[in-house]
Amino acid sequence: MTPASHAPVCRILLRFVAAFACALVLDGAAAAELVPSSGAQAPPLALRDLAGRDIRLADFRGRTVIVNFWATWCAPCVKEMPSLQRLRDRLAGDGLTVIAVNYQENAARIQPFLDRMRLDLTVVRDHDGSVRDAWDVNVFPTTFVVNPNQRISLVAVGEIDWDDAQVEARIRELGGRPRTVAERR
């Protein structure tokens, strides 16, 4: 095998390892904690949503953004998504944006999942895993809370209960400008 021919095998192995770690470590485990981060600049994120629109983290400067890495095959990811939707619904008027970065699944698999779960989060596809690599994500779900200055303020490795009042309060503390009427449409 040439080095180039190893790439598909490596991607399959990485997906298997991530799924195994997700199932073994997180399924049935206590919820993860939302912990302070170093405040490092958030890595670039520029992907397309399921409708083909370009979504760039940089476009949300001035707002708090939750960047959640997930997959439909990850049980803890599936379990946390409804509470993430409710948090977004509660804080959307305050300018909170959620970008749910799906790991290497196609729209034909993602859209029925979103419909079944009644989710209308902004979902983008990391089709080749490059964004996951740039953000150094090794476990699903992994979530970053990016402050209005585009710095990572909080991180959760594992499932979070986004309905928890203390979690919501920590996110509200980051501030950010409310969405305009035009942005709410």
Q: Which CATH number fits the domain that encloses residue 164?
A: 3.40.30.10
Q: What is the DSSP string of 80-146?
A: HHHHHHHHHHHHGGGT-EEEEEEES--HHHHHHHHHHHT---EEEEETTSHHHHHTT--SSSEEEEE
Determine the Cα–Cα distance for residues 24 and 179; give it in Å rounded to an integer.
40
pLDDT in tens, 27-69: 444 568 999 998 999 999 999 999 999 999 999 999 999 999 9
pLDDT at residue 167 greater than cutoff 70: yes
pLDDT band for 11, please (50, 70, 90 cuts). Answer: very low
Tokens at 139, concatenated: 């476990």
Cα→Cα distances 21→16, 36, 74, 140, Å:
8, 23, 10, 8
Strand-pair category, 65-70 with 97-103: parallel
pLDDT given at position 4:
56
pLDDT band for 175, please (50, 70, 90 cuts). Answer: confident
Tokens at 178, concatenated: 């409310």
How many domains would you assign to the chain?
Answer: 1
The DSSP H or E segment spanning 79 is helix 75-91
More confident residue, 15 or 55: 55
What percentage of the chain exceeds 90 in pLDDT?
Answer: 74
Range(s) of the domain holding residue 55: 3-184
pLDDT given at position 27:
46
Least confident interval from 8-22, 39-53, 57-71, 139-153:
8-22
